[in-house]
Chain A
């Protein structure tokens, strides 16, 4: 089963969650990243996400594999939208099931943090004033090799 999904259509948490259920799991934790109506004091009308699909899926799967090795979990899954999203839409969803809650919380946090850092997906913000801008965070310069 693929654990990392790029989706052109709306994410359905109920459906994604079903894949993670297990009688061994006493805990289930999920995270939803949603489109908010502002960023850095600018009014945002909608977002576009673009992905380098082949590498995004490969790197996403690597993160999920690492997560399964690092934490005592049953199942984990992450789905990320591409295309145009409206305010309030779910941009990214992470779900983790585990026997006990500590592993599920920690693993969920690990997955979303690594996805934001490593998976080749880019966000274009479309502002209320008609301008737009691709976000290329520069707080951590990447290794130039």
Chain B
């Protein structure tokens, strides 16, 4: 599977990029975040994040499809 990952705020700093294409055999957001954490050294625990798929909030256990855009959202701090 090939996904487009976009990163924001501290996750973008830790990944060293705002966007990347990621190839993996994984098809669940939770497992994907664990894989990315070991690659990029993300310090935020998954319990503090939300996940968005193709521009909408999604469930952590939703099955991912090839080509999906996935964003792991750190706790927000607008306003």
Contact = CB atoms under 8 A, between A and B. Distances in A.
For chain A, the bracket of interface size reads: 20 to 34
Contacts of B66: none
Contacts of B71: 52, 55, 120
A142 B77 contact: no
Contact of B55 (A55, A80, A144): A55
Nearest to B50: A142
Contact of B74 (A55, A119, A122): A122
Given A92-B79, A115-B78, A122-B74, A145 B60 contact: yes
Interface string B50-79: 111001110111000000000101111111
A84 interface: no
A145 B61 contact: yes
Nearest to A56: B78
Contacts of A2: none
A134 B13 CA distance: 10
A120 B12 CA distance: 14
B44 A136 contact: yes
B60 A121 contact: no
Given A116-B79, A136-B74, A54 B55 contact: yes
Interface of B: 6, 8-10, 12-13, 44, 46-52, 55-57, 59-61, 71, 73-79
Given A52-B8, A141-B48, 8 more contacts: A55-B73, A56-B78, A115-B78, A116-B76, A122-B8, A123-B77, A136-B48, A145-B61
17 contacts: A50-B9, A52-B52, A55-B71, A59-B57, A91-B78, A115-B78, A116-B76, A119-B76, A120-B8, A122-B76, A122-B77, A123-B78, A134-B13, A136-B10, A142-B48, A143-B50, A144-B47
